[in-house]
A = this chain, B = another copy of it.
Amino acid sequence: MTQPAVVLLSGGMDSAVSLAEAKSAGFAPHALSFDYGQRHREELDAARRVARAIGAVQHVVIELNLRAFGGSALTADIDVPKDRIEHGGDTHAIPVTYVPARNTIFLSVALGFAETLNACDLFIGVNAIDYSGYPDCRPEFIAAFERMANLATKMGVEGRHITLHAPLAAMGKAAIVRRGMELGVDFGDTLTCYDPIMTREGREGRAAACGHCDACILRAQGFREAGVRDPAR
């Protein structure tokens, strides 16, 4: 019998490849996204396209209003920084786009979902690039969360091991692009931008990426280094 797994899906390129990895490893993936008061709901549209294209068993969207306590350029009225990386910004500082405890919160809800599915496997698309800025993307965080998860749940008490998979952990953006191509991911479905532009000029009438936020710049670098044209541009 195919084992179920819960896969966090943002609609960006990383989580799309993470979902494809879960599928390719033989799991029956249940995709989980959040409507968390992020400023751009286009992310959720992208997540829906990706879940369908890759073949998730289901796609659950949980509403969670993290705006209730603000604190990030992605949820509050703080400007998303533009051209920060190319202008030599300190990429080792925690960026203002950091949402407090976001991965911890998302993984905790994924853990609850996994428990109702009797699933022992969770997937998250964090990668080597993310590690530089976000504390909750680091391998030591992933390991500590997995340890806690095994103490928090029925499965853990019953001696079944919960594994938190971070299949992109060691990859840079170019490697993620290449791996996604191998797995047949259509990057045209994904949206990585922190500040998408509402325009009919986007692909098939979708929101267009701004091209200047950290996420856009890292994505463009990844495609350039992989020698592949970004189908979403």
| A interface residues with partner B (beta carbon < 8 Å) | 60, 62-66, 68-71, 94, 98-105, 107-109, 111-113, 115-117, 135-136, 138, 140-141, 144-145, 147-149, 151-154, 156-157
Contacts and interface: CB of A to CB of B under 8 A. Distances in A.
A51 to B, nearest CB: 15
A99 B100 CA distance: 24
Nearest to A71: B116
21 contacts: A63-B64, A69-B117, A71-B112, A71-B115, A94-B154, A100-B113, A100-B116, A101-B112, A101-B115, A101-B152, A101-B153, A102-B112, A104-B112, A104-B152, A105-B111, A107-B108, A135-B156, A140-B151, A141-B148, A144-B151, A147-B147
Given A144-B148, A145-B148, A148-B148, A153 B100 contact: yes
A151 to B, nearest CB: 4
A63 B66 contact: no
Q: Which 3 residue pairs of A and B lie closest in terms of their CB atoms, listed nearest first? A: A101-B112, A100-B115, A71-B116
For A60, A94, A116, which residue has the most chain B Cβ atoms within 10 angstroms? A116
Contacts of A141: 148, 151-152
